[in-house]
Structures are given as C-alpha cells and as structure tokens.
Structure 1
Amino acid sequence: MREPVFTGACPAIVTPFDATGAINYDRFAQLIDEQIAGGVDAICVLGTTGECATLSLREHISAVNFCVKHVNHRVKVIAGAGSNDTSAAVYLSQHAQDSGADALLHVTPYYNKCSQEGLIRHYEYIADRTELPIILYNVPSRTGVSFTAETYRVLSQNPKINGVKEASGNFSLVAHTRYLCGDDFYIWSGNDDQVVPMMALGAKGVISVVANVAPRLMVDISHLCLDGKFQEAFQLQLQHTELMDALFVEVNPIPVKAALNLMGRDVGGLRLPLCDISPANLEVLRGAMERSGLLDQTC
C-alpha cells in the first residue's frame, strides 16, 4: 500500500515579486521559513496561488530549484508542473525531479477541455516519464474540465499517481471516489472552507491558500481532523469563516497577496492579467483579518 505524499496542512505558497516584477528570492526564503515555523507538513510551490500561469519556463524551474534547496528536507516539497500541453508538463516534471522535489502537482489540462479518455492518457503519459509521485488537481471552475470518479478509479491503479487535490466542491464526487478507489488513492481538500467535511469523508489534509497568512490555523484544523476531533476542528473552521471568505473576495491569489502585504510581508504585486485588489474589497479583507487577530485594529 502506497503512503500519502503528506498528511495535514500544506500551503500553496505565493510567489513574491520585487519592485521590478522579478521573483524576490530573499522574501521567498522568509516566507518558506515562516511556513515551516508555523508547523506545516509540506509546501506546494508554483500552484495557482504561486502564479505559475504567468512565469516563464526559466523562472518556473528556478523557483522550484530554490524552494527545494531552501526547504532542505525540513518538510516535503510538492512542485506544480501542470500544463495543457502534455509535453510541457513532462518537461516541468522532469526538471522538478532533477531539483529534488518530493512530488508533483498536476492540474487538469485547461482550455483544451479534453475527454475523460484524454485525461487518462495525459496523466499516464506523464507518470511513465517521471519517478515522482503525482497529485492530480481538480479545479473545474478554472480549467473547464472535471474528473469523474470512474476516471479516478482508472488512474488510481497507476502506482505513481498518489491522489488528488479536490477543489471541485463536489462532495458526491469525493464520496464516490472513496468508494471506487479504496484507501490508498489519497484526497486532499483544495478549498480551505471545506477541510472538515472533506476530511470527514477521508481526505488526508489540505493544500491551502489560507495557510499563507495563518499556517498554524490550517495545521490545527487538519490535525484535529486526523486525530478524529471533528467537532473541535469544525468550531475552529467556523470561527475563521469570515477570514476564509475574505481571502476569496476576488480571484486567488489577489486577496492573499494583499493580505500578506497588509501583514508587512512585502510580497509585491501581481502579474497581468491579475491586478491589485479593489479598494472596497481591501477594506473587507482588512476587517476580516482584524477580527481573526491577524492585524492590529489600528493598522
């Protein structure tokens, strides 16, 4: 029986930029250290929150290399390597493997809107060309395509496909996947506000946006669930519902970068076509952060 890549909480870490728009590696190192100090179980670099869609291939490879080296085996590193071009996904996977990453995150091919058979062929082609475990990433609101439970069942038979980050919000899909795939095809919540119910259905943790600003919160929620303390985890999640909602008041990662900047982390701006949060939504975010104890109310 294969082991899950990680259990617990893993930030989908932001990519900080400097004033020129280049990756700010000094700040990146500080963010990584803060996450590890906050008790996270893994770090996911260059997922959606890391703005992978607007990085060049050279920047992508460099950022993964840097993250792996700076983490230095303190926690697992999951490298985003997804693409709607299968050959590009293989290329990024092989570079992540060369860097020393522990696993890969592969989003469903976007824009192409391939069939379920196309999904199976895409992932099996990648799995045949890397030694790293693969976490699938289902986020149909962004990609326009979703896995079915039957497709998960087929892919679960590949020993290199470890499980899926589920961000569809479809609990019936999660339940049917658990039924069809058994205990060693692992599921992680891709939505911070659904961690407790997902883990009640057998998920192993969360790949989280909220952890960027509150790593200990997401560690506590996920580990309470792992310990079977679902009522305590539920109360903690409810307590911070406003914060979780505010961090998605605009499309991710616009609010989380704004939140980190409010906290003095200086992660810089975003690359077009993403742009700064609106003034009205910034105040919504600021208020939620104050009430969650992340900001002094005089800020």
Structure 2
Amino acid sequence: MSGISAWLRAILMMIASASLFAVVDGVSKILADDQSVGQIVWARYSFAIPVLFAASPRLAWRDLLRTNELRNQIIRGLIPLVISASMVLAVRHLPLAEATVTLYAGPLLVVALSQPLLNEKVTLPAWIGVGVGFLAVLIVARPGFSDLSTYTVFPIVAALFYALCQIFTRRLGAVGELPQTTLAWTLLIGTLVATPAAAISWQPVSIGTWALMIGLGIVFGLAQTFAIRAFAQAPANRLAPFSYAQVVAATFFGIIVFGAIPDLWTFFGVVLIIGAGAYVMRNRA
C-alpha cells in the first residue's frame, strides 16, 4: 500500500473511532441515570473483549498478550480507564456538549506533546489545523460555561489523559507492537480494574439496560480498535484534527436521542472541522 493510501486509511479509521466514541459517551450518559460509574466502565471493557477476538481470529490470547513493551503496555492500558471514568462522571453531571468540548483540548495537547515525547516534527499547518478544528468545536458545541462547577475538572482530566493515550498508542505502534496486542492489554487491564469497582457499586440492571451495556462494550471495542490502528499508521500530530469528528457525531446523536436540532452555526462549525482536517492532509509532508 502506498504512503498516500495508508494515510487516507488512517484518516478514515480515526474518523470512525472518534464517531464511535461519541456514541459511547452518549450511551454512557443514558446509563449514568441508574447505573454506577463502576458498572458503566466495566461494561465498556468486558463486553469489548468479543470485538478483540473477532478482529484477531488467528491469534490466541497468549499470542495477543506477547509484548516487548510490557511497561508501556501497562501504562497505556491504565490511561483509558481514567478517561472512561472521568467522562462518565462528566456526562452524568454536565451537558454532553460542555463535556465534549472540554475533552477536545486533547488534540491540542497531542500536538504539544508529540514533539517532546515522540520526536515528531510539529509543523505550522498541524498547529493551524488543530487550532481551527478546536475553534470549530466551540462553534458546534457552544458550551455556556456559565454554570461551571467542580465537575468540570473531569473532562479536563480526560483531555489530558486522552492526549497521553494517543501518544503512547503511537509510541507502541512505532516500535512494532501489534494493534491487537495493545488493545488486548487495554481490555485486560481495564476489566481487571473495573470488575471490583463494579461489584462494590452494583445497581439492579434490567433487560433493556443489559442490552445497552453490551452494546456499549461492543462500540467501545470498535472505537479502540480503529484508534489503535490509525495511530500505528500515521503521526499523532497529523491525525489529531480528524478526531474532531466526535463532535459531529455527538451532534447527530443529540438530534436522534435528545432532540437537539442544530442551527446554522453548528453546520458552519462542521464545515470548519472538515476543512481543518483537509488542510492538515494537504500539508502532511
């Protein structure tokens, strides 16, 4: 596969991942009304495991967990746990738009951290693209921030760990770690840590809620798979603007589930998001 086609494939996987993460946060907000944070995080990880097996039909668990980067795999596996717990707490107490836009300080942090942590050159187009993308996020979500509370710290924490997660994903991909191996360690560590937390805080679960929890895990697994594969094929700072697709997906999720109809400013913001990604792509060299 040529460099251009590999780059395009990485972009598509990044967009798919970001969109699926929007669904994950939206479903988490629905579940957060009746279920504990531990239950929701546990569902994300445990029910994502079948996705791993489906994506790796030729590899046994022993092969999936074989790694030369155990320390980095463990660190990378713990990071999404912090993101998951922080975002569940955020969407439980804050409007989805406000939580999402705060989270999207993350791509800016990816650009800022990719040079010192990955030795990747951060170009001016990359900074411009991410900056315009973040402006577009503000236009789409337009969080009021008039009712800031202590809960705002949760998406801020998630944003920091979001950037670290992408940095570690890229680092592992650069040294030849299989995407399936990274995902396996992520799901294993997440399930092991979340299981006792869920058991301690368990709330009654209806049949409909079980269906939502299972679906949540499957979508989470797909989102993780696409993200890991994307960052294994392209520099973190160049893919960062395309992760803003999560805001676009969250907008549509809001229309379908919560009846939030976007206005012209929203559509203008979406155009800016797409334009920011296209600008970075055009200046990728």
Q: Specify if TM > 0.5.
A: no
- Report the structure, 1 or 2, having the larger strand content: 1
Give the TM-score, by structure 2 length.
0.29
Give the TM-score, by structure 1 length.
0.28
- Report the structure, 1 or 2, having the larger helix content: 2
Give the structure, 1 or 2, with the largest relative contact order (CA under 8 Å, sep 6 or more): 2
